[in-house]
Amino acid sequence: MTQDTVEFIHRFEPGADAARPLLLLHGTGGNETDLLPLGRMVAPGAALLAPRGPVTENGMPRFFRRVAEGVFDEADLRRRTGDLAAFVAAARERYGLGAPLALGFSNGANIAASLLLLWPETLAGAVLIRPMVPFAEPPAADLAGRPVLILSGAMDPIVPVENARRLAAQLTASGATVEHRILPAGHGLSQAEVSVAAGWLQTAALRSAA
């Protein structure tokens, strides 16, 4: 059922595993239902929390504003990231959830990366699909023990692989355990990546339970 909590319209689906839920963050033009099927495929049994981006660009929902394609409004990004962190905290209390693993695509992956850097206690880790470096000057963050999977498309016309490599380096420098996979794909999600994400999430869940 779609809910409206802490200014975020969202969907919540209970699961057998509430200790390690997925926070599903859609791309530009998506909504709170877009990534639910993906969440069910890559993490069967996990509780799913999926907010809708509160910003609109030409009628399309996003999580933060941008000046142009690939150029972020960093002040707005910081504010919206704080709002999202507050939403996650409220949703965890309301639904009885542990710290989630983010699964974000494109714009959703970018705000997930921002969450890792600005509010690292919010997430247990993340799968970032087609992310970009969110800040020109990365903030200091302690990400020790946080597993992160970055999935890039070798033929992505929007996000250069080198940009994703810089993000991987920034997160690694902050202590995260980063795996960066570059697949023969464009900006869209490929079926191969569903399998990669599912396998990685299973490993990450086992690691966090150890």
- Catalytic residue numbers, as ranges: 106, 156, 187
Task: Please report where in the chains the tokens 């996650």 appear, as a residue.
Answer: 88
Contact 87, 41 (CB under 8 A): no
Number of H-type helices and E-type strands within the chain: 5, 12
How far CA 91 is from CA of 4, 34, 98, 145, in Å, comes to 11, 19, 10, 23
Pair of tokens at residue 106: 């494109």
Residue 130 Rama label (left phi>0; alpha psi -120 to 50; beta): left
- Considering just the CA atoms, what is the radius of gyration of the chain in Å? 15
Distance between CA 144 and CA 92 in Å, rounded?
22
Contact 104, 128 (CB under 8 A): yes
